[in-house]
Chain A
């Protein structure tokens, strides 16, 4: 049975070579068909450990059969199983991808080594949600801590910050990859040796790179200004380095000018996001208190769109 060979891990190198050889952009369907089949077959083998979950076993049996029959077909986008293929990850895989984004190395391509051309939507979605809520919570905490230091500040829960933070982070994590993907597709055409990343892989890159901002925002609670700038620079450096190392192999075949402009735009947008995160904590305190007794993030410009002005 041919699929027995696909059960071993050799298939990942074959898939990578296959992707490198075929510059065709429709790589998602191939890789998703190659790996879930092996993945589903493994699930059948370990079905005994599920206990009494017979339906899962039968479903995976049926799914394996169906996928063998539909070798050339991907489920349509109106079916539930189409979206289920984007959530086909385990806990250990998600943790491994997060670790890979936290520690970027120049030779390691995030997409090839950690994603292994199997992007998922779980990571980007929940990392963005966590970041939005953590931003709101720490902003609130900053105000509480400031109020205890100086009781004249009027405390309010500032709940609309959650909405603002959420919308802006989700827009960033989904629209910027869309623009980047479109730009790369336009520049690359179909003649390249290594095809550009699919849209989902780009979303994954951006989503997982946002993870480092979560501990950064929490550490910003420490009201020491130079420490905050240090953490900010460190987090921005890690995140942007991850992005640049992943995009470099795709971009280096283009002209020098386009490559540098693209990479600097990517880094700049990431820096803007970091600045936006910094200015989200509340500053619109009712009576202007003594500036010297407050941490510096209270005195920043009030709303998110105005964060372009350096504080």
Chain B
């Protein structure tokens, strides 16, 4: 006995980790609990075993054999003796069950066995195994683990692997045995064993331990074995295996249920939950879902089993399991088959499905939304939830603060969910909530349209259109104008999904139905061939004119008879007082070239002309009116920058202008500054078209130079190509033929810039930049940023940068994402345009403050673009630092 205890003590150094916990548990559960907790409580058990001596004399023989064997094991180094001792213990194993009375076997497996196995593990070493020749001992050794009760063997193996430090012979051996263990499907035995036990629901400690060991097996093995870990223990291999084994256990359970005996499924649920919590939903559900789908197809017992499996998932695992299923299931029908009415029975599941997945997260793909809402729509009980979900979604969609503070992606997600929800609803159901829908929709669409981000506006329009068409299927419908892009198309395609389509698609990838949302645009094309056909039919000869290819006829416009004015003053007169519409149009068309040809004449009337142009209204529906007017204004500004810029900037803050006009002023200032700052501008004497489009449409052009490339730099591209294919034999630095000119903006940029940022905080009656006109404020911020960018290499750049930093600082917590984007852009252009030394000398304080703000934005801003822009600005700052360090060293 003495040496046995010491033998145990020797191994105690790596101690059972659950020791302290066990002690507590034993107090609670009494002796029974301690017995079941197996190897974890070896020492406890030893003490109690001693006490137990008196209990049952029948069992003393077992105990005796075991103790003897243990003694031999620990002390002897004679191979024959050892193997005899082992064989004597093996009697009690399953192999020789008829000899050994069942009671003794049970006693053996329950109480003594884990100690024995532990001892075996301790003895494991190359020398020990060679005590008998031809690997006899090794074979014996293995058989103890592969044939003894699965839970004990598994636990001992795992515990020993965990406590073994570093790669060693013992570790390798044990991992080999574990591999065999897994390959023989002993996990099935293990789980089945637990499922059969009629223990009360409360998770006993043994179960708990087993659970954590089974699920964390890849982690433990990976931690111990590092790169030598066999591929079977990789998560991507182990969890599918586990899934297969679970199916086998379920199979056994279903068989036994058919046989009339009860089984508990909760251990499987716990495993499933734990695996999912560990983030391995894809691996395990990837196996479980297809198999379960197949099995539950026609079998109601399997269906029950599956439902029960999900119901028994503990609350903390519910979210992981349900969200995993929502993603893995190929369709709503399958989901309904697997989950049953889980959402109605389980509060947690209901919360996850109806709130968490829809309103609190937005990372899931659209298919998952379709699964989720399709699942809710499939059953009449669940449809009440669908209605509730619709109301909740609508409330969030229409809430002003949600629109302001949540990221665009989330709003897109909610809108998608709304559209899918609507497509599932029936007429009768809509009838009940029509009024409610209408009021929420009206409020919501207003909030959306007020937003300064175009995507948010589009979302509002599309959802409102859909709702209105569902509310009044016959009556008048809302119809908005919005550009079509991949975004809107995707949304519109959701509108037309029929609820019947929610079953699993035949092919692997879900087929998105062709958007039928543009019938209006399609129909003319669709009709054209028919018409042609008809015409052909009526014609006597069927041959066509196809042998001739038509030339371009786009320039075939209607002819105007009026003479274009030749003098600037004539233009003024024509634009202000002419009743002749054609003359007015012709004047506008020639105005830009006239201004460019007659700079002197233009300067005489520049302010007057700018005033006329700024107030010009579109009298007829003239094609390209906006563009012509803007070009003319830009041309005037370029010819006489000081006067016109002064006039325009003063008018920006003046009374009685529409927002459109104010934004036009900003556009004109940008374009004129660009023209002035870019070299060769006067030679070309033309404003490249795409630039206007870029500045006009995209909310934040990251760098204006980018958008200029296609039109302006073709010459550079061509020259580069020539250079690439030309070999030069001359030595010395290559001559660069870039047109170097002084920045024409240098002397005038102040007139563009400073008046714009002077009065932004003084609201007028009709114009409140800091209030609801944040769209204009956003444009203003972008404009000053762009002006800053163009002011590179000018003397005014330093004071401008300083003023702009202060301006940005004042607005940095603005709630509108568009404004924040502009501010971040402005920071970037300051960093680019102001010379680095001056930045650090003159504005150190401000820079440091800005830096911390940027870091905060990059971390926390809800808008993705803002985060990106902040990152960019931070990068620029880093570069600045590097440059200075290089310069100083």
The answer on A and B forming one complex is no
Interface residues of A (CB under 8 A from B): none
Interface residues of B (CB under 8 A from A): none
